[in-house]
Amino acid sequence: MTFELIQSILYFLAGGFLIFLAVTIARDNLNNRLNRTFGAALLFAGIGPLCMAFGLLIDPATALVVNFKGSTTYNLHYIWEFFFPLLLLFSWIFPEDRLKKFKYSRIRYFIFIPQLMHLIILLFGINFITFLNSMQISSGAEGFSALILKPFSMLIGIMTLFIGFIINSHALIFSTFNIFFILVTIYFLESGKKLVSNPRIITQTKVINWAIRSSLGTYIVATIGSALFPTYFTETISSLLIIAAVLSGTSLLVYVTLRYQFLDVRLAFRQSFVYSITSAFFVGLYVVLFLQTQEFFVPIFGEKANIINYVIIGLLLLLFQPINNWIDEFTRSIFMRTQTDHRNVIERFSRQVISLFDPIKLRQIIEETLKTTLLVEHIYFVLYDDILNEYVLYLNREHTQKIVLSRDDILLRGINQLDSPTFYQSLGDYTQNSDLANELEAYQIKIILPMKDSEHLLGFLALTSKAAGYNYSAEDLNLLGVLSNQMVSALTNARLYVDSLERMRLQEEVSMAREIQLNLLPSSPPLHPCMEISAHSTPSRTIGGDFYDFVYKDKHNLGICIADASGKGMPAALMIAQTQAILKSEVNNGTPIDMMLRNMNKQLVESSSSEKYVTLFYGELNTEKGYFHFSNAGHNYPLLVRANGDKELLKTGGPIIGALPDMSYQSETVKLFKDDTLFFFTDGLSEAMNEQEVEYSEERIHEFVTINKTKAPGELIDSILKDVRVHDTTYPPRDDTTIVSIKIRNGFANG
Amino acid sequence: MKLTDREENGVIILEPNGKIMGGPDASLLHDKLYEFIDQDKKKVVVDLSGVDWMNSTGLGILISSYTTLRNNGGKLKLANVTEKIRSLLVITKLEPVFESYDTIADAVKSFDE
């Protein structure tokens, strides 16, 4: 007696657990075919043990004394075998819904035939044989029915034998069917696995397949074993083994299915558990209420007032519905499944992207996140390309295949107005006459996820359906909305980072150019016993458009040059580098000064546009005789201050070089004496402006140099720079500033 | 820099106002010039009375306008050159290159000679 009780409790627990799993699965989303199929499979798997349990509990006497095996309750438990065709159906839906593509999908109902036959034969087979036997007996008599039936007596005999055989060895026959079903299931799961690319789903399928295989092993031992060796495998042991197989296999199946559909499987279980318990409590309460009220009504309406019972049942059902909903909401609010799970995903996502500045890598993480958490099958990116100034649809991960979208595309404009994730279908009219729509429809896009900063659409994601045919839920759309905000900030960060990298690279290039430019300037002015030379150059930006140079044309002729290219920065620097190179080669060729400037002008006109030009002063100082032979190509007049304070401006020359072709240049010679000061400068010095927009001016330079003519060149330069900086405090100066100063210390040997 | 233009006896008179500093000024002037060249109007006087200052880039713009017109068979002359700009033209020795006149009328008239 006690053993039967324990056994029935075990059956009861197993059945209850399986039905609980069925409820959990179905409750997640009943609209989903996968949920329906798998939920039904579990329900049938649970009914079997429950029937066994009830059979033992309700009628323990029958179970012990009379042959429980033959009872209807016992035979009814074979209903659990529908688990097998439903599992097969599951393998057609998971991991890829192949029924959708299958033309004759209705054929699926036929797979239930063997199990249905089994049940019918077990429930009605004995009765049928009895019926047939009665026919056989009556066939001995003469009569109308016997006349008709006589030719079939042989057939009836065979049928009786056949059905009898099936009844006797039904366990072996239908177990074979069931094993065959499982083998086919394994085959379909394997072939389905090859159709999916999502690594996570492949792993899930693998686990499910192994769960089924291990259960299959136990099932074979239990069924075939008990059929072949009934002495060792008693009915009890075999059914317990089957339950163990079904329980272990289905639990694993449920776990992976939930795990991969839900974000947090423990919560789903807990929630379902609370739901089931509370529901059971309320059902119990209603049953009690129903019984109580029945007793209350019977004396009034009499024993046979069944109609009253139905009214009460109807009322109770009506009442149950809102309470049912209330329980649902209550359990949800307790476990906050949505928020917790989504918060995890969002936190993980932002952690991953916060330190990520590579846009390609960022897109990969977005893809990874959406594929693993929402099981999106494919994701297509449309992003605004800063260089093309257009939106671009990227077809693959590496961004090698892409389609540039037309700005006027009606769908693109429609998406521009979206603020949240939207079902593609709901875009309606926007998808008419749109190339983008044709493209997206070819990929069976289901969801459009716009990525918008405060004003601009940075791009959008186009998501295909979820893996295994799951539908997007409202929760999914919420999650997508939050993720898209994260993506926007991550994309913006990545873009800013790329910009700053680009700036850094440019900065580095400019610094290198600056170094090259500094190397082009003389490292120190030449030393000569007769004179003292000093030079200074400050660019207004990192690199400048001024230069000065000292080149010995021959032993006694020192070439001195100061020049200023129009404009500033890199273009001016390039112009200057070119001018300097031409100058050096002309000086080395020994070209006369006027010809030299003519040649330089010609070469620069040929190699630059006319708005780019150089003002240049070039002079040759004969260190033997003290002659200074020069030509001024549109440069600020250098100043010559004699020892007595007389000033001369070195004007003679011609127009600026590099602007206009066929210019000619004059040259002039002045003689230099002891204590003369030569002062060359660029307009950065003379045009230095104070706050009132007053220039420092050439006049002030002349005055300053004249007053400070006794100073050594280096000192003179320092002091005038100081004076200019008092006038114009901007530093670095607004314009490139270059100064060369020469002081004749001793008279020239042959002067 | 602001730029207005008008026509007088088949001569285009361009009136820049403010500082000619380069950057957008360059394209503004060039676009205008090409517009006139396309209409076969190649006699241009630039009235510099409203230009108080010009940097090296500004001068570059003026030079390239001059060459653009010359290369297309036209001519650019200056009128009302302010002292500041005249000194710039003197230093750069471009004064002989640009024909400059004291008044617009003189500049316009000079095209008939």
pLDDT of amino acid A141: 53
Q: Which residue has the higher pLDDT, A734 or A615?
A: A615
Question: Where is average pLDDT lowest: A100-104, A675-679, B40-44?
Answer: A100-104
Most confident of the ranges A213-222, A475-484, A489-498, A529-538: A529-538
Interface of A with B (CB under 8 A): 564, 566-567, 609-613, 615, 632-637, 653-656, 659-660, 683, 735
Q: Is residue A82 part of a domain?
A: yes
Does A373 have pLDDT greater than 90?
no
Helices then strands, each counted (H, E), chain A:
23, 17
Looking at beta carbons, which residues of chain B come within 8 Å of A632?
Answer: 93
Residue A732, preceding bond cis, omega within 30 degrees?
yes
Size of interface A-B (CB pairs under 8 A): 58
Q: What is the mean pLDDT of chain B?
A: 88
The answer to whether residues A436 and A404 touch, using CB atoms and an 8 Å cutoff, is no
Q: Which is nearest to A266 in space by CA: A248, A281, A279, A254?
A: A254
Best of B33, B56, B99 to substitute, by most chain A Cβ atoms within 10 angstroms, is B56
Q: Which residue has the higher pLDDT, A338 or A485?
A: A485
**Which residue from A minimizes the CA distance to B30?**
A611
Query: What pLDDT digit, counting tens, does each position of B54-103 carry?
Result: 888 888 888 989 998 999 999 999 999 988 889 899 999 999 889 999 99
How far is it, in rounded angstroms, from Cα A536 to Cα A518? Answer: 12
Distance from CA of B106 to the nearest CA of A (A): 25
Q: Which residue has the higher pLDDT, A614 or A365?
A: A614
**Which residue from B minimizes the CA distance to A655?**
B93
- Inter-chain contact B64–A611, Cβ cutoff 8 Å? yes
Looking at beta carbons, which residues of chain B come within 8 Å of A612?
Answer: 60
- Inter-chain contact B57–A660, Cβ cutoff 8 Å? no
Phi first, then psi: give them for residue A718, nearest 5 degrees: -60, -45
**Which residue from A minimizes the CA distance to B96?**
A655
Does A257 have pLDDT greater than 50?
yes
- Inter-chain contact A634–B91, Cβ cutoff 8 Å? yes
Token pair 């060895």 in the structure block, residue? A169
Distance from CA of B21 to the nearest CA of A (A): 10
Same-domain check for residues A299 and A381: no
The answer to whether residues A624 and A556 touch, using CB atoms and an 8 Å cutoff, is yes
Question: Where is average pLDDT lowest: A326-330, B24-28, B58-62?
Answer: A326-330
- The tokens describing A371, both together, are 């594929």
**Which residue from B minimizes the CA distance to A666?**
B93
How far is it, in rounded angstroms, from Cα A670 to Cα A748? Answer: 14
B56 CB within 8 Å of a chain A CB: yes
B28 CB within 8 Å of a chain A CB: no
Beta bridge partners of A549: A561
Looking at beta carbons, which residues of chain B come within 8 Å of A654?
Answer: 93
How far is it, in rounded angstroms, from Cα A678 to Cα A532? Answer: 10
- Inter-chain contact A567–B59, Cβ cutoff 8 Å? no
- Inter-chain contact B60–A660, Cβ cutoff 8 Å? no
Does A264 have pLDDT greater than 90?
no
Query: What pLDDT digit, counting tens, does each position of A692-720 carry?
Result: 888 899 999 999 999 999 999 999 999 99
Looking at beta carbons, which residues of chain B come within 8 Å of A659?
Answer: 60, 63-64, 67
- Inter-chain contact B60–A613, Cβ cutoff 8 Å? yes
C-alpha dihedral, A244 to A247 to A248 to A250, nearest 10°: 150
pLDDT of amino acid A247: 77
Q: What is the largest CA-CA distance in chain A?
A: 166
pLDDT of amino acid A337: 47
Q: Report in angstroms the alpha-carbon separations of A619 from A118, A560, A624, A745.
A: 117, 5, 15, 19
Which CATH class name applies to B2-110? alpha beta
Q: Which residue has the higher pLDDT, A25 or A437?
A: A437
Same-domain check for residues A209 and A197: yes
pLDDT of amino acid B111: 87
Question: Region A136-148: what's the mean pLDDT?
Answer: 57
Q: Is residue A578 part of a domain?
A: yes
- pLDDT interval class at A66 (50, 70, 90): very low
Token pair 């791009």 in the structure block, residue? A459
Most confident of the ranges A239-253, A325-339, A346-360, A443-457: A443-457
Query: What pLDDT digit, counting tens, does each position of A550-587 carry?
Result: 999 988 999 999 999 988 888 888 899 999 999 999 99
Length of chain A: 751
Best of A610, A652, A695 to substitute, by most chain B Cβ atoms within 10 angstroms, is A610
pLDDT of amino acid A51: 77
Looking at beta carbons, which residues of chain A come within 8 Å of B76?
Answer: none
Q: Is residue A208 part of a domain?
A: yes
Q: Which residue has the higher pLDDT, A14 or A102?
A: A14
Per domain, the residue ranges of chain B are 2-110
Please give the tally of structural domains in chain A.
Answer: 4
Complex confidence, ipTM: 0.91
pLDDT of amino acid B91: 92
Instruction: Give the SS3 label for residue A97.
Output: coil
Does A179 have pLDDT greater than 90?
no
Looking at beta carbons, which residues of chain B come within 8 Å of A655?
Answer: 92-94, 96-97
Most confident of the ranges A143-152, A303-312, A342-351, A509-518: A509-518
Distance from CA of B5 to the nearest CA of A (A): 22
- In this structure, the strands spanning B11-20 and B51-54 are parallel
Q: Is residue A514 part of a domain?
A: no
pLDDT of amino acid A64: 46
Distance from CA of A619 to the nearest CA of B (A): 17
Of B64, B67, B92, the CB nearest to A656: B92
Residue that finishes a domain, picked among A291, A319, A335 = A335
The shares of helix, strand and coil residues in chain B, as percent rounded to the nearest 5, are 40, 30, 30
pLDDT of amino acid A63: 45
Does A274 have pLDDT greater than 50?
yes
- The tokens describing A295, both together, are 């007793």
Question: Region A35-53: what's the mean pLDDT?
Answer: 82
Question: Region A595-599: what's the mean pLDDT?
Answer: 94
Does B23 have pLDDT greater than 90?
no
Q: Report in angstroms the alpha-carbon separations of A242 from A52, A237, A687.
A: 13, 9, 100
- Inter-chain contact A566–B59, Cβ cutoff 8 Å? yes
Looking at beta carbons, which residues of chain B come within 8 Å of A613?
Answer: 59-60, 63
Q: Which residue has the higher pLDDT, A538 or A255?
A: A538
Upper half-sphere CA count for residue A446 (Cβ side, 13 Å) = 16
Token pair 């330190």 in the structure block, residue? A355
Does A611 have pLDDT greater than 50?
yes
Q: What is the mean pLDDT of chain A?
A: 81
Looking at beta carbons, which residues of chain A come within 8 Å of B91?
Answer: 615, 634-637
- The tokens describing A136, both together, are 């056989």
- pLDDT interval class at A198 (50, 70, 90): low
Token pair 């190339």 in the structure block, residue? A435
pLDDT of amino acid A151: 66
Distance from CA of A642 to the nearest CA of B (A): 22
B103 CB within 8 Å of a chain A CB: no
**Which residue from B minimizes the CA distance to A567?**
B57
Question: Region A456-469: what's the mean pLDDT?
Answer: 83
Q: Is residue A576 part of a domain?
A: yes
Same-domain check for residues A219 and A274: no
Distance from CA of B39 to the nearest CA of A (A): 23
- The tokens describing A222, both together, are 């239990």
pLDDT of amino acid A613: 93
Looking at beta carbons, which residues of chain A come within 8 Å of B22?
Answer: 567
Q: Is residue A472 part of a domain?
A: yes
Q: Any idea what the CATH number is for the domain that residue A538 is in?
A: 3.60.40.10
Q: Name the residue range of residue A197's domain.
A: 2-262
Q: Any idea what the CATH number is for the domain that residue A426 is in?
A: 3.30.450.40
Query: What pLDDT digit, counting tens, does each position of A284-298 carry?
Result: 777 677 667 666 666
Does A238 have pLDDT greater than 90?
no
Does A751 have pLDDT greater than 70?
no
Q: Is residue A509 part of a domain?
A: no
Length of chain B: 113
- Inter-chain contact B63–A615, Cβ cutoff 8 Å? no
B4 CB within 8 Å of a chain A CB: no
Q: Which residue has the higher pLDDT, B103 or A332?
A: B103
**Which residue from A minimizes the CA distance to B60?**
A611
Same-domain check for residues A487 and A595: no
- DSSP-derived letter for residue A356 is -
How far is it, in rounded angstroms, from Cα A664 to Cα A597? Answer: 8
- pLDDT interval class at A82 (50, 70, 90): confident
Does A3 have pLDDT greater than 50?
yes
Question: Region A608-627: what's the mean pLDDT?
Answer: 91
- Inter-chain contact B60–A566, Cβ cutoff 8 Å? yes
Q: What is the CA radius of gyration of chain B?
A: 13
Q: Is residue A582 part of a domain?
A: yes
Most confident of the ranges A188-197, A331-340, A358-367, A432-441: A432-441
Query: What pLDDT digit, counting tens, does each position of A375-424 carry?
Result: 788 888 888 887 888 888 888 777 778 888 888 888 888 888 888 888 88
Looking at beta carbons, which residues of chain B come within 8 Å of A610?
Answer: 60, 63-64, 66-68
User: What share of chain A has pLDDT > 90, as a percent?
Assistant: 22
Other C-beta atoms closer than 10 Å to the C-beta of A542 total 16
**Which residue from B minimizes the CA distance to A615?**
B92
